[in-house]
Amino acid sequence: MIFNPKIECMERDEMRKLQSERLIKTVKTCYEKSKFYRRKMNELGITPDDIKSIDDISKLPFTTKHDLRDEYPFGLQVVPPTEVVRIHASSGTTGKPVVDTYTKNDLDMWAEGVARVMAAGGVGPGDTVQVSYGYGLFTGGLGAHDGAIKLGACQLPTSAGNTEKQIMLMQDFRSNVLACTPSYAMRLAEAIHNSDKVSIENMHLRCGFFGAEPWTEGMRRELEEKLRIKAYDIYGLTEMCGPGVGGECECQNGTHLWEDMFYPEIINPETLEPVAPGEFGELVFTSLCKEAMPILRYRTRDLTRLIYDKCECGRTAVRMDRILGRSDDMMIVRGVNVFPSQIEACLTEFPVFQPYYFITVDRVNNEDTFDIDVELKPEFFHEDPQQQMPHIKPLFDRIVSMVGIKPNIHILPPYGIERSMGKAKHVLDKRNFKD
């Protein structure tokens, strides 16, 4: 189902017109109400009069995570506190939290973004959406929650954690939609399969909306098979509101971005120039409707590309490819760029392995070491290292061919790798603690 056909299927030039109107308004507000933006625009020698349409967006200054930290907590807020009805803060996976504040309209817009994603998966009244994203300052829980309500679905706010109870409720309350991080979905799947109290046969799950961290097609296959669902990607970030900046449609071939609310650009992170259409680079967003904390050209550090081909679902909204990772997640090992998601992609090609992994990078005798802990599925596990060799070799070869460096692979006993309830941590770079 298409939640807002008028917008989601709007002709491209009509969309440009709408974006232009909204950008002009946003820039004007930023200039008039925010010292920060006024200073930034003055530095570039521009005023709101220079922004006549969305084509002028590249004249505007970028905003970075660093700027948000400098302006912590409310420096970028352009409405009086009396208009603010909620505050969220990012989980701070990469440092001090980033704050976002919301007016009533902001919450409404955000809920619509999530509703559009869930509607694409067919969610509506009569469905029970189990929200197993963490509730609290993290935008995942309440974001999915409000989106489900907007659709008239029943939401079950279990939050993350308490896994045994979650799966009992999932069965007893007949939850048919699951919303959580892909790592937690995997943890739930594992708990269901190991439980003697519940069984996947007695579950009613039909689809899931997974996001807040990068995941791969391999992980999708695992989740779809284990939970017997269709698994959809949902994308977002606190700086724009939270989850629901975009999501996959029923075609599962890229994340439609809600361009009427968030204008996407892809830039070369070195030169800061736009890349050629369809090329990979850093995703940049400008909010077009946010009231409390509008944001201009925010550098997400997420690496992806945009796809403008028409989607078979009928939506004209641009699609974005899977996020390869954040530029912060990228490790340079022996001079080679490596993303954790590449290791996940290799691992999930081999059905004998669990989709769990942990990478440790260090420097010993002036050389980078690259160790990867993995787990075999319990039925394939052997204590005897000799018996493990036939499994390690093909994975080793695949990683070498994909990323170009040789890892040391260690097979841990079942459950040896820590399971995550939210965003999984996949890397320890010990070099960061050395000179």
Which residues make up the interface to ligand ADP (CB under 6 A)?
90-94, 139, 211-214, 233-238, 300, 302, 323, 326
- E strands within 96-194? 99-102, 128-131, 154-156, 177-180
Is the CB of 90 or the CB of 163 nearer to ligand ADP? 90
Site for Zn ion contains 311 (CB under 5 A): yes
Shortest distance in whole angstroms from residue 235 CB to ligand ADP:
4
When CB distances are held under 5 to 8 angstroms depending on the partner's kind, the choice from Zn ion, ligand ADP, none that residue 249 binds is: Zn ion
Distance (Å, rounded) from C-alpha 317 to C-alpha 113? Answer: 12
Is the CB of 225 or the CB of 309 nearer to Zn ion? 309
Shortest distance in whole angstroms from residue 70 CB to ligand ADP:
17
Site for Zn ion contains 10 (CB under 5 A): no
Is the CB of 117 or the CB of 395 nearer to ligand ADP? 117
Instruction: Determine phi and psi for 403, rounding to 5 degrees.
Output: -105, -15
Look up residue 290 and give its two tokens. 């946010």
Look up residue 27 and give its two tokens. 């820039």
Is the CB of 134 or the CB of 147 nearer to Zn ion? 147
Is the CB of 314 or the CB of 413 nearer to Zn ion? 314
When CB distances are held under 5 to 8 angstroms depending on the partner's kind, the choice from Zn ion, ligand ADP, none that residue 311 binds is: Zn ion
Site for Zn ion contains 313 (CB under 5 A): yes
Distance (Å, rounded) from C-alpha 133 to C-alpha 160? Answer: 5
Shortest distance in whole angstroms from residue 184 CB to Zn ion:
26
Distances (CA, A) of 225 to 58, 140, 219: 44, 24, 10
Site for Zn ion contains 317 (CB under 5 A): no
Binding mask 223-262 for Zn ion (x = CB under 5 A): --------------------------x-x-----------
Shortest distance in whole angstroms from residue 214 CB to ligand ADP:
4
Shortest distance in whole angstroms from residue 144 CB to Zn ion:
20
* Cα torsion through 20, 22, 24, 29, rounded to 10: -170
The amino acid present at 344, given as its one-letter code, is E
- E strands within 201-280? 207-211, 230-237, 242-248, 255-257, 262-267
Shortest distance in whole angstroms from residue 326 CB to ligand ADP:
5
Query: HEC profile for 408-428?
Result: EEEEECCCCCCCCCCCCCCEE
Q: Mutual orientation of helices 340-347 and 217-227 as an angle, nearest 10°?
A: 50
Interface contacts to Zn ion, rule CB under 5 A: 249, 251, 311, 313, 315
